[in-house]
Amino acid sequence: MKELNRIQNPYQDDKVIDACSIFGAMDTSGKRFSGRGVIRGIANMHDRGNGLGGGFAVYGLYPGYADLYACHIMYLSQKGKQDVEAFLKDTFHLIHTEEVPSQPTPAIVNPPLVWRYFLEVGQQKPEGQADDDYVVERVMEINTRFPDAFVFSSGKDMAVFKGVGYPEEIAEYFCLEQYEGYLWTAHGRFPTNTRGWWGGAHPFSILDWTVVHNGEISSYGINRRYLEQFGYQCTMQTDTEVVAYAIDLLMRKHTLPIDIVARVLAPPLWDEIERRPPEEQKLLRTLRQVYGSLLLNGPFTVIIAHHGEMIGLTDRIRLRPLTAGVKDSMIYLSSEESAIRLICPDLDEAWIPSGGEPIIGSLSTPLQPRPGAVTATASDSPGESQEYPAIKSITITS
């Protein structure tokens, strides 16, 4: 065994660059469900992490405050908390505040203070500015101006819970089994180039956009410089942060659809572009010219989520794994099929998406069956063979 290890790893380098686990589950009917299955699924990939980061994003969990911005903030000191709360009172209408419930968990050591604030944009906002833009500016201001505070979640009727630990330990610490949502994403981290710290765990979020990521963004420097031109401040000391801000810029501010965004982040290779039809060539060349600085270089698989959609995307040559599965109105995305099968053993279908092609679960778009999709029997129509008739709102693009 030692000899085999010497041959396979002659420099005894124990850095693992293909790890990290990601998982997503969405009920496309909008029905809220407990996170127990998601926690089991991500815990099944325990050996892809090392305990230096875990986290979850949950959508639809604050129905009583659905129209308010829910800011989750970490504090390293009481003074930091006092300063930020004074800032929030000056810049927002503060509706409700409370400490995020947690419980003693043996593996969680020296956690920061974590509070949540339900905010309404008031008359402090400049005339003509969109509410979302105002919130983004204030989040960036807190994260650069207050050294002992960090806003890590800022969307409506959704929240991120993350920290240093395995994901199942973070779930236990934040009592996540008590929450329900219609969309959950999860991450188990194996940091490759950055230290493990609470703010650096996944998901990364701005407004209701969240990203969990397996891989390494070697274009981080140029991506960051491009995004800073639009007011984004990268303060989280990890490459994945640029993906969340790029998604916010492209999809919210520039209103590009996800199939175009996928061609920005993971475009075809130049020789492939030259083989496309003329009109498609023109589009792809234009995207490379306008958004070339947002191309994500390096291996990656991401699950992107926001209200109403969950999107899976890999790099164009698929250097990181992603499996998709559907069952009735549920869609699952995972680093490993075994994690999906653990909580849903009788999938209607499971498949490996093509590189650079987004897989989309949606509340609003009717199912477009994949080419070659197998025939399934509808759960609400026993004996009637159809193309996933119980899935009323998933778009599958591949």
Q: Where are the domains of the chain?
A: 21-61+157-297
| Whole-angstrom distance, CA of residue 259 vs CA of residue 268 | 13
Q: Which of 146, 159, 80, 79 is nearest to 117 (CA)?
A: 159
At 373 the pLDDT is 37
**Cβ–Cβ under 8 Å, residues 230 and 293:** no
Torsion sign across C-alpha atoms 335, 217, 256, 204: positive
At 193 the pLDDT is 65
20 assigned to active site: yes
Q: What is the pTM of this model?
A: 0.87
At 398 the pLDDT is 32
113: its two tokens: 């203070």
Neighbours of 120 (CB within 10 A): 13
Cis, peptide link before residue 321, omega less than 30° from 0: no
- Catalytic-role residue among 20, 71, 234, 344: 20
Query: pLDDT tens for residues 220-238?
Result: 999 999 999 999 999 887 8
> What is residue 388's DSSP assignment?
S
What's the CATH code, domain 21-61+157-297?
3.60.20.10
| Whole-angstrom distance, CA of residue 373 vs CA of residue 388 | 9
163: its two tokens: 């920290």
Beta-strand pair 376-377/113-120: unpaired
* Number of helices (H), then strands (E), in the chain: 11, 21
At 262 the pLDDT is 94
At 82 the pLDDT is 97
Stretches in the chain below the pLDDT threshold 70 = 1-18, 191-194, 366-398
At 10 the pLDDT is 54
| Whole-angstrom distance, CA of residue 51 vs CA of residue 190 | 8
| Whole-angstrom distance, CA of residue 46 vs CA of residue 36 | 16
